[in-house]
């Protein structure tokens, strides 16, 4: 999934067959929960709720019906580069040739995916994240952090 429009919908009659969307911002993993008493657990990260709300708002703006059958989800998470990926002095702002393309550090890709899939369910795009039969996720460095997602209906 290298190039596509920020938001697009391909229809087959009244049903979406493929939905593509982009959510700008720093992707946040859905991680540990914290016990606050009386059996109540809340997300430990205060950044998770705003990120999931951004995903939900982007999807709801597309005004789509809910996918009801099995789907394939392809997600590319773009994370900010570290400062040491760039040169210094007269080369400040220039990406080093040795700078990696893929992120091999935290956040964990499964936790990023979990936050995304839960937001897709909250938005109404999916009935349940159990519908996801195929999941392909990547963590890449990029100049613009965010996530690009393609959801495709499966037979």
* Domain contains 95: no
Kindly give the interhelix angle for 109-123 and 48-61, rounded to the nearest 10 degrees.
50
pTM of the predicted structure, to 2 decimals: 0.84
The number of distinct structural domains making up the chain is: 1
pLDDT at 64: 79
In a 3-state reduction of DSSP, which class is residue 118? helix
* Domain contains 147: yes
Sign of the C-alpha dihedral computed for residues 140, 142, 145 and 146 taken in this order? negative
| Boundaries of domain holding 66 | 8-32+42-79+105-153
pLDDT at 44: 59
Selected residue with higher pLDDT from 10 and 92: 92
Mean predicted confidence (pLDDT) in 118-137: 97
Q: What percent of the chain has pLDDT over 90?
A: 61
* Domain contains 52: yes
* Cβ partners under 8 Å of residue 94, min gap 6: 86, 87
* Domain contains 23: yes
* Domain contains 20: yes
* Domain contains 37: no
Domain containing residue 58: CATH number = 3.30.1330.70
* Domain contains 120: yes
**Nearest-angstrom CA–CA distance, 117 and 133:** 12
**Pairing mode, strands 132-141 and 71-79:** parallel
User: Other C-beta atoms within 10 Å of 44: how many?
Assistant: 11
pLDDT at 2: 38
Report pLDDT digits (tens) over 136-148: 999 999 888 999 9
* Domain contains 48: yes
CA distances from 106 to 10, 57, 80 (A): 34, 26, 12
**Nearest-angstrom CA–CA distance, 55 and 73:** 14
CA distances from 96 to 43, 61, 80, 109, 141 (A): 37, 38, 15, 25, 13
Report pLDDT digits (tens) over 21-52: 999 999 999 876 665 567 665 665 788 999 99
């Amino acid at each position: 999934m290298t190039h596509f429009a920020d938001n697009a919908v391909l229809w087959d009659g009244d049903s979406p067959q493929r939905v593509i969307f982009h959510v700008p911002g720093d992707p946040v993993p859905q991680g540990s929960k914290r016990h606050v008493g009386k059996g109540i657990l809340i997300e430990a990260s205060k950044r998770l709720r705003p990120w999931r709300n951004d995903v939900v708002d982007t999807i709801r703006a597309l005004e789509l019906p809910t996918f009801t059958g099995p789907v394939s989800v392809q997600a590319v998470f773009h994370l900010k580069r570290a400062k040491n990926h760039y040169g210094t002095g007269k080369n400040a702002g220039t990406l080093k040739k040795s700078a990696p393309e893929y992120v091999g550090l935290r956040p964990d890709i499964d936790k990023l995916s979990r936050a995304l899939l839960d937001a897709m369910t909250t938005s109404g795009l999916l009935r349940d994240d159990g519908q996801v039969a195929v999941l392909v996720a990547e963590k890449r460095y990029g100049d613009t952090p965010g996530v690009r997602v393609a959801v495709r209906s499966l037979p």
